[in-house]
Structure 1
Amino acid sequence: MAVTRIVANLAAPDPAALAQFYREVFELDLTLDMGWVAFLASDASQAIELHTASQGGSGTPLPVISIGVDDLAATEAAVRAAGAQIVYGPVTEDWGLRRFHFRDPAGNLVNVVDS
């Protein structure tokens, strides 16, 4: 048996609106909208990862998802421009990772990391 993918599901009272937020901030493509669920994707590929944790690191709450980006400063600007609140960072952690946390319009805590 081999895992072929892991998908994050973000709770949202209005999935289409939240999908639009993520399309704008992270330049993702809307591949399917069924009303109750919206699928977003990109052509990028990555290794499969699943993290288990008791906190978010540095004493922060545990985010529901981590998103790696190639330009943290540009992503921070896009998050702010979209009206989301940065609640932690940007900071370079003791373990060398540069990141920030924000709350999306549905209240989900998201970790954005410089990958």
Structure 2
Amino acid sequence: MTIRRAVPNLVVEDAEAAKSFFADFLGFEPAMDEPGFKMFRSPSNPTAQITIADLKVEGQDRGIKDAHVSVEVEDATALYERAQRDGLEIVYPLTDEPWGIRRFFVRAPGGHVINVAEHVEAH
């Protein structure tokens, strides 16, 4: 199984202040900038990314408030089937999201929720 990247997900109360911190202070560049949801990437290493979700913007957190880390994989369906076979706790079922992500959430040992995702064509 190929893992393409792992991205920490942070929940914030002020997305604009967080944007200023990550972009202006740390030097990340915006990769996605929507009301309440932002993704940043390193200009020198584009797979080094971080996402933030503003809880004050209803519906824009895209479930990130529930997942501590996003892991982009080659085949989310295969891992979903394996998680089921292994008896892991599925927190969010395998879903093709309208923005072009197939994903599910699984609880890792220790209780952390992991968003396992792959890019697919948007509906």
TM-score range, shorter chain: 0.5 to 0.7
Give the count of matched residue pairs. 73
Structure 1 residue runs without a partner (length 5+)? 1-5, 9-44
Aligned-partner Cα distance in 1 for 2:49–2:110: 24
Q: In 2, are the aligned partners of 1:66 and 1:113 still within 8 Å (CA)? A: yes
TM-score scaled by length of structure 2 = 0.49
Q: In 2, are the aligned partners of 1:54 and 1:62 still within 8 Å (CA)? A: no
C-alpha root-mean-square deviation of aligned residues, in Å? Answer: 2.8
1:96 aligned residue: 100
2:81 aligned residue: 77
Q: In 2, are the aligned partners of 1:90 and 1:100 still within 8 Å (CA)? A: yes
Q: Alpha carbons of 1:105 and 1:50: their partners in 2 closer, same or farther (altered >3 Å)?
A: same
Aligned-partner Cα distance in 2 for 1:53–1:103: 20
TM-score scaled by length of structure 1 = 0.52
Aligned-partner Cα distance in 2 for 1:46–1:70: 17
Is residue 107 from structure 1 mapped to residue 123 from structure 2 by the alignment?
A: no
2:91 aligned residue: 87
Structure 2 residue runs without a partner (length 5+)? 1-5, 9-44, 56-60
Greater strand content = 2
